Structure 1
Amino acid sequence: MSGFGVEVRDLTARYDTTVALDAVSFTIRPGVITGLLGRNGSGKTTALSVLAAFRRATSGTVLVDGEDPWENERVLSGTCLVRESGDVALDQKLKETLDFLGDRRPLFSRELADTLMDRFELDPLTKPNKLSRGKRSAFGVVVGLASRTPLTLLDEVHLGMDAPSRYAFYDALLTDWLEHPRTIVLSSHLIGEVERLLEDVVVLDRGTVLTASDAETLRSGGVTVTGPAEAVEAFVVGRQVVARQQLGRTAQATLVGARDDDASRARQHGLELGPVALQDLFVHLTDRPVPAIPEESR
């Protein structure tokens, strides 16, 4: 199993007069872990809901494994969307939910589900409405990973989980994906934590696609330069600087827009070049200028 591929072309989704997605286009490669990144209100949840046929597109084309997912039994049986705190019956014991999924999901792994239940310290006889927010999110992770569907959509499933639980989730996701490759789309705002998992990235902002590429290509669009503060400042003159740090006489600047001569210039001035964290690039891409304060209001 290599997973379902996704093709989205000119997708628009409206809620009454609100345009959640405005003619967006992107591709999700089969068998790849893709990060769907964006600030709150960017359209991430709407996009995933359309892919999972939870809601219908206003216009445009959506193909999952080459077919429209809307009311498509084959595609839907191979798609799992888990949103924050899971999408499960609140008054049904966790064990009963796992039994239900085991009967209806052909690739569902009860062995993996039980292993994750132990890892997240979830009592199978407990009902979701008796769990904390973090534990409910952990159960959503159990459902999403154990289903092993060809298209697995995880929408901010880590919200409410503490740091050890989140890292246990990331490790479990990567380990099981390596053993059972499938298409996973991970929506998250904790980019610094999840970027090691991502091979491709789609960045949404206010209902539009800012960029869609493999993560390495996106990272290579920027560079960090480190060294003596004066030399760093001279190096970045006329460049787009998105972050600065300084400790004593040593400074680091993060630039967007790498140049062919950066390496030679850095060597001439005794500077070190390094990669840019995906988090820094994301902040830059989605940066929104602060409105100026009117003179009369100062």
Structure 2
Amino acid sequence: MSFTVNLRDVTLKYGDADALADVDLTLEAGKIYGLLGRNGAGKTSLLSLIAAFRKPTSGAVLVGGEPVWENAPIVSRVALIREGGDFDDSDTVKATIETGQIRPDFDLDYALKLADKFELSLKKKVRELSRGKRSVLAAVCGLAARAELTMFDEVHLGMDAPTRDAFYKELLAEYMDRQHTVVLSTHLIDEVANYLEEVVIVDRGRILRHEDVETFQGMGATLTGPADAVDAVAAGLDVLAEQRLGATKSVTVSARPDAATRERAANAGIEIGPVGLQDLFIHLTEPGKNGA
């Protein structure tokens, strides 16, 4: 069975407010996705629907071609790991890890190996863990679940930089060893950009963009040089942002300049550079823009 995810005309309401509205989204199986959005954009709501933690107000949420809501055979192969984990604080780390065996493909040996690698004390109570170690415990449980669809919702929060780097590398190694579908919801965009195949941007409850990483990388550009020359070359282009320092100016445009514009820029002494995924995300979701 292909674990493709399909959301068709999905709306999720909290009271009278739309957490998600008219969402159409397809995530093909066997890829690593980045799920990006500002706080309150709807990322966690979206993941909760896919994991059957919540039922949509309207529309269909399908995993593997089947409705996911109250579908135990499908849900058992989907793992949503949230920041800090959903743990019983009175349990030990070892007991918490062993609880993962309720999942059909949970790999206890791998989980214990990861616990040792990330220096998790098996005897400690969950409530005794620091925020960072609690996040590590959540990550360990998610990796060892060996689910067909694994979603990490800000699970890196609290981890220090070396631990986050080790987590990303372990996630990639596990993905290469056993190709499955991974969704990373994160604010640390530049850290994970090199691991992603496709990116979904959620903005104000709607899907703003869903593209492969290469498309995003080719979307924008920065023009840097003498202010007057930059203004002349950027005239008519969609300018997302601009900065000025003395006589030098830098503008970010939404599309890579064509050959004629690049030639004009070179003749005017203007440097053209790429726009990082994080900067592009910030510009695309800036309050006041039209959004989806």
TM above 0.5: yes
Aligned with 1:146 (options 144, 147, 150): 144
Aligned residues: 288
Aligned with 1:135 (options 133, 136, 153): 133
User: Per-residue CA shift, 1:178-229, capped at 9, x if unaligned?
Assistant: 2221101111111122211211111111111111111211221111234455
Q: 1:62 Cα shift?
A: 0.9
Distance 1:228 1:22, change over 3 A: same
Instruction: Tell me the equivalent position of 1:295.
Output: none
Q: 1:248 Cα shift?
A: 7.5
- 2:77 is the counterpart of 1:78: yes
Find the residue that maps to 1:232 and give its secondary structure: helix
- Name the amino acid aligned to 2:263: S
Find the residue that maps to 2:235 and give its secondary structure: coil
C-alpha contact (below 8 Å) 1:26/1:202 kept by paired residues: no
Q: Distance in 2 between matches of 1:174 and 1:263?
A: 37
Q: Distance in 2 between matches of 1:249 and 1:221?
A: 27
Q: 1:244 Cα shift?
A: 4.0
Find the residue that maps to 1:158 and give its secondary structure: coil
Find the residue that maps to 1:91 and give its secondary structure: coil
Match runs of 1:38-117 below 5 Å: 38-101=37-100, 103-117=101-115
Aligned with 1:217 (options 212, 215, 226): 215
C-alpha contact (below 8 Å) 2:190/2:278 kept by paired residues: yes
Instruction: Tell me the equivalent position of 1:294.
Output: none
Find the residue that maps to 2:67 and give its secondary structure: coil
Q: Percent identity?
A: 49
User: Per-residue CA shift, 1:2-45, capped at 9, x if unaligned?
Assistant: 96210111110111222111111111121111111111111111
TM-score, normalised to structure 1, is: 0.89
Distance 1:135 1:3, change over 3 A: farther
C-alpha contact (below 8 Å) 1:242/1:280 kept by paired residues: no
C-alpha contact (below 8 Å) 2:221/2:257 kept by paired residues: no
Distance 1:265 1:148, change over 3 A: farther
Distance 1:153 1:27, change over 3 A: same
C-alpha contact (below 8 Å) 1:31/1:182 kept by paired residues: yes
C-alpha contact (below 8 Å) 1:81/1:154 kept by paired residues: yes
Q: Cα RMSD (Å) of the superposition? A: 2.2
- Name the amino acid aligned to 1:269: A
Q: Distance in 2 between matches of 1:234 and 1:65?
A: 52
Q: 1:239 Cα shift?
A: 2.5
Question: Please, which runs of 5 or more residues in structure 2 have no aligned partner?
Answer: none
C-alpha contact (below 8 Å) 1:222/1:254 kept by paired residues: yes
- 2:188 is the counterpart of 1:183: no
Q: Distance in 2 between matches of 1:173 and 1:250?
A: 42
C-alpha contact (below 8 Å) 1:3/1:150 kept by paired residues: no
Q: Distance in 2 between matches of 1:225 and 1:178?
A: 38
User: Per-residue CA shift, 1:57-110, capped at 9, x if unaligned?
Assistant: 110011111111111122111100111101122211121122232x33333233
Q: Distance in 2 between matches of 1:234 and 1:211?
A: 30
Find the residue that maps to 1:90 and give its secondary structure: coil
Instruction: Tell me the equivalent position of 1:23.
Output: 22
Q: 1:52 Cα shift?
A: 0.4
